[in-house]
Every structure is written in C-alpha cells, then in structure tokens.
Amino acid sequence: MKRVSTECHRHRAPLLLLLFSFLLLSACSSAPARRSEVDAGVDSLASAREQAFIRASFLAAGGDHPAAISGYRSLLSADRKNAALHFSMAKEFLALGELDSARAYGERAFALDTSNRYSTGLLADISHAMGDRKRAVELYGRLSEMDPVNTELLSWLAMEHLAAEEPEEALAVFRRVLRLDPGNETARSQVLLLEIRMQRYPEAIASLKEMIAGGAGDGRLRLTLGGIYLRTGDFADAAATFREALQAAPGFVPAWLALFEVSVRSVDMAAFRSDLTAFYDTVRPTVAKKLELTRFYLTESVSDTLYRVPARLMLDESCRRHPKHAEPLMLRGWVRLRDGDSPGAVQDFRAAVRLDRMNSDLRQSLVTALLASERFPEALISVRRALRDFPAERLRYRVLEGYVLYESGNPQGAARLLERALRSPEIEGERELHLRALSTLAFAYDTLGQSTKSIPVYERLLVLDPQDALVMNNLAYSLAERGTELEKARRLAEGAVSKEPLSGVFLDTLGWILYRQGAFDEALLRLRKAAELEPDEPEIFRHLSELYRAMGEGDEAAAMERRAAELELKRAGSGGAK
C-alpha cells in the first residue's frame, strides 16, 4: 500500500504549481464555482491576496514550510471559511510532522467541503499517520464511495481495515477489488492470506485451486494448499498435493519435507521410510544435510513423541548408506544413550571410534556409554588410552579418570587422583572441568565417610556455583550428620527444596535436619512426602523409623524399619544398583 509522503499529497495531479494553486482554491473553496476552475480561483481572491497565496505556494514547493504556514495563516485571518487555505495549512503541518495541527486544519477543510476528494484524502492520511484507525476507515470509505470503481482506493480502504484489526471487512473489500479487477494478484494474495488467517479453510482451498487452475502452477501454491489439507487432517489430499509439486520439480526440498510431515502426523512409518529413500535417491543430500534434518527431528521429538521413530529411521538410513562416516554413528550413539540403550550406544561409539580414532569428543562419549552400561574396567581402559592419545587434554582425561574410578567403586583411588588434578594451576581457567573435579571429589569423600574433607569442597563448589541445588543438599546433609551448624544446614536444605520441590532426596535431607532440631511435626510432613516421591529409597524409611520412635510411636517405627530392610534386600538382589 502506498502512503503519502510528507512533501506532497498522493491525490494531487502533477500539474504546474501555479495552475494547481488556482485549481486548488476553486476545488476546496466553500464558495460555489461560477466560471471555469482557474477563473474561479482568480475571481475568488483580490489581487493582493492572490499574490500572497502564490508566494506561500512557492515557499511550500521550495520546502520552506514554516514560511508557507506564515503566509497561509495571514490569509486565513481575513478569510476563516476558505477550505483551500485550511487544506494548504494541513499539508504544511503534515510535511513538518506536526500531526495534531495538521489534523485540526484538515478537519476544518473537510467540514467546509465534505465532497472534496482532496481534503478527504489528506485527512484520511493524517488519521492513518496518527493511528486513528476508525476515522481513517471512515474517510477512505468516503473516498471509495466518490469513485466506486477505483481499485486503488478500495485497496487503501482494505488495508486500513486490516490496520484496524477488522479482517472480515478487509476480506469483503479485497473481494470487491477482485470482482472489478480479476487480474489483481495483490488483492488475490490478500484474500488468500485472510482466508487462511481466519481459518476459512474451504474458501482458502477453493482460492488456491482457482489460482493453480488459472496457470499459477508455482510449487509454493501447491505447498500452501497441501499445508492447509495437513492442518485440517486431510492427509490423503495433503500427500497427493505435495506429490504433484514434486512431479513438477523433483528437487523441490520444501515439498519433500512437507511430505515427510504428512507421514509423521498420520503415523504412517511405511510411507515415511519409502519417501525418505526416494528423497535420498532423488535429491542426494550430503551427509551433513541429512544429519541437519535428523537433528531437527530429534529436537522436535523432545516435545512431540511423534518425531521419535522418524528420527531413528533417518539415523538408521544414514548409518546404512554411509558406513565410512563416523558422524551418523556418533549421533545414533547419543540417541541410544538418551533412550536407555547403553549397549547399543557402546556399539555405535566403538564403530565410530574405529573410523575417527582421534576425535576426542567421540572417545569421551564412548567412556560415558561404558559407564552407563556399568562396564567399568572397559571404561577405565578407554579413558587411559585417551590419556595416551591426547596429551594436550591430559587434565580433562585425568578428571574423567577420577570420575570412572569413583563410579567403579574405588572412591579412594578417585580422591587421590582428583586431589592431584585440582593442584594443577590450569584447572582454575576451566570452569566446567573444575566443577566436575570438585563435585566428584566431594562425593568420594562422602563415600569414604570423610565429611571433614567433603564439607570444605562443597563450600568451594557453592562459591563457584551458588545456585547448585545438589551441592546445597549434600552440604546440608553432611553438616546434619556431623551434628553441627544445624541452622545453616536447614537454610541450605530449604534452598535446595525451593529449587526442586519434587525431589524426594532433598525433602528427606530437610526432614532429617528438622528431626535433629526437634521439629517433629514439620519433619514428619517432609519425610512422608519424600517417601511418596521416592518409595524405593530405604534411607528415607530409616529416617521415618527414627522419627516415629522419637515421637513415641513404636508400631509405626517398627513398620518403617521393616520397609527399609525389605528395600535393602531388594536392592541387593538386583545387583546393588546405586
């Protein structure tokens, strides 16, 4: 939509300034015309006033708007009801960007001659610029009534309806434009967009079919039509439309992606597999492009499980087609690890390492998968091989080795190694590595029952990361077990629970501290909730047993003790899971 500039009004014909001045006086004057337009302008003014008007008009044309305003204002003082002068003043104030003054004079010019299209158009533009949509719609409506077959005026009116958040009215006007000018592609596009926006899908489908039948066979139109079918759940027509687009342009990637979406939404994995194969064979995307698309599907699968199987199919097909590339195997390994298939992840990472042995991230991924599979000796061998192969990353792998030792049940070996790693001056500049080394060391000290060592480490961790809820919890529990600084322990435990209120472990710590402080009722609330959230954790039931005993409820204490013993036996029978 064109808009008037601040220098001139869009309804003005490009005439010579002098002639226009006389025409304008005649056209906008409230006095009835008695001769031709030029003569009427001349006769309506005395010679001196006529010269003053011409001078002001030349000043306006030269861009000296303040001087022009001064000239017009002087003339207005003697002729308050001259519509031409009010119109000219409105134009000059609009050129200066002084919208309030422009509107005041524009309203006066319009009131003096409501049938004048120039003053109506100028006031409409001013109203639009001021954001007065209601007034602008009214005035553009008047203009279109003055010239009902002028499609440009109707388009301005429709756009103003849109600006006023009146889509129904805008759609009606754009359709009127199309009846007057069936070849107006801008109006046709606006009609289609409004039909889609207003969810009038049958009408939008009809519009698109008409556009396609009329020779506008652009693949993007078919893509839009198929998208509407997909949105309305008409999967068959959606797929057929996308296939038509691909027949016309087999390399049109957006149509392939839309076709995949149909299979995803209709849960037709046979069609998805077939279309994916055809896509790879036709378009022949690079490995990087295939993995980029796969990563998109994996990201979508986090919030929409419909994408999970298609993403796995993409990964499997990439691995099958590119057996000499490590990247697909590495990505599939991480997906398997995420989905709890740690043996499958180990298999993929091992295969990828054989293809890209000097990829440090890949080697660390293999260690992670081995730990998840509880294959601790292999994890230790793998991390020590990486220590040999990546001397520049020695510190990184030393910290990882300490973690592997801790996870494999050797907290003493882990503590010795991590103590040495933390004495390295370069670890201060590696924040994440520093945090991991400290946290693993603190866990190792706790496992060894050395709270006097673990507490200072937890305090160092909180300095580095004050928002770490797990560190807050563990420090609080260590303080409670030692029986000192119970108030500090309580504040830390409350902080951890506030960050993760549904953590049974954190609630257990808080309940245990409250018990140690003698706040039995509050402790009971927290520990009962902890037991609901973690029904297989024997330590929580032992804490409940002690609390009931302190409250004088022996039967409840005994029941909780039995439950704790049952859970410990169950855990021992399942291999001592952590």
Average pLDDT value for residue range 311-338? 95
- Check pLDDT > 80 for residue 507: yes
For residue 334, give both structure tokens.
């991480």
**In terms of Cα–Cα distance, which of 141, 217, 207 is closest to 173?**
141
Radius of gyration for the chain, computed over Cα atoms and rounded to the nearest angstrom: 40
For residue 354, give both structure tokens.
């054989």
- Check pLDDT > 80 for residue 574: no
Give 3-state DSSP helix, strand, coil % of the chain, rounded to 5. Answer: 80, 0, 20
Burial 153-163 (b: 16+ CB within 10 A, else e): bbbbbbbbbbe
pLDDT in tens, 137-173: 999 999 999 999 999 999 999 999 999 999 999 999 9
Q: Which residues have CB under 8 Å from 333's CB, separation 6+?
A: 344, 345, 346, 347, 348, 349, 352, 365, 369
Q: Which residues have CB under 8 Å from 211's CB, separation 6+?
A: 188, 192, 221
- Check pLDDT > 50 for residue 538: yes
- Check pLDDT > 70 for residue 557: yes
DSSP 32: P
What proportion of the chain, given as a percentage, has pLDDT over 90?
84
Residue indicated by tokens 């010795």: 416
Q: Which residues have CB under 8 Å from 242's CB, separation 6+?
A: 222, 223, 226, 255, 256, 258, 259, 262
Question: What distance lies between CA 119 and its chain's CA centroid?
Answer: 46
Q: Which residue has the higher pLDDT, 330 or 212?
A: 330
Average pLDDT value for residue range 358-380? 96
- Check pLDDT > 50 for residue 42: no
Domain ranges in the chain with CATH number 1.25.40.10? 215-284, 286-389
pLDDT at 15: 28
Q: d(Cα 117, Cα 218) in Å, to the nearest integer?
A: 40
Is the pTM higher than 0.75? The answer reads: no
Average pLDDT value for residue range 549-574? 91
Average pLDDT value for residue range 48-53? 85
Question: What distance lies between CA 336 and its chain's CA centroid?
Answer: 27
- At residue 64's C-alpha, the angle toward residues 59 and 69, to 5°, is 75
- Check pLDDT > 50 for residue 27: no
Q: Which residues have CB under 8 Å from 441's CB, separation 6+?
A: 402, 414, 415, 418, 419, 422, 457
Domain 215-284 in this protein, CATH class? mainly alpha
From residue 417, give the alpha-carbon distance in Å to each of 312, 325, 414, 444.
39, 36, 5, 11
pLDDT at 556: 95
Q: d(Cα 85, Cα 72) in Å, to the nearest integer?
A: 6
Confidence of residue 75 (pLDDT cuts 50, 70, 90): very high
pLDDT in tens, 387-437: 999 999 999 999 999 999 999 999 999 999 999 999 999 998 999 999 999
Q: Which residues have CB under 8 Å from 288's CB, separation 6+?
A: 327
Confidence of residue 575 (pLDDT cuts 50, 70, 90): low
| Domain 286-389, CATH among 1.10.1040.10, 1.25.40.10, 2.40.50.140, 3.90.1150.10 | 1.25.40.10
Q: d(Cα 578, Cα 17) in Å, to the nearest integer?
A: 91
**In terms of Cα–Cα distance, which of 393, 386, 375 is closest to 433?**
393
Q: Which residues have CB under 8 Å from 169's CB, separation 6+?
A: 137, 158, 161
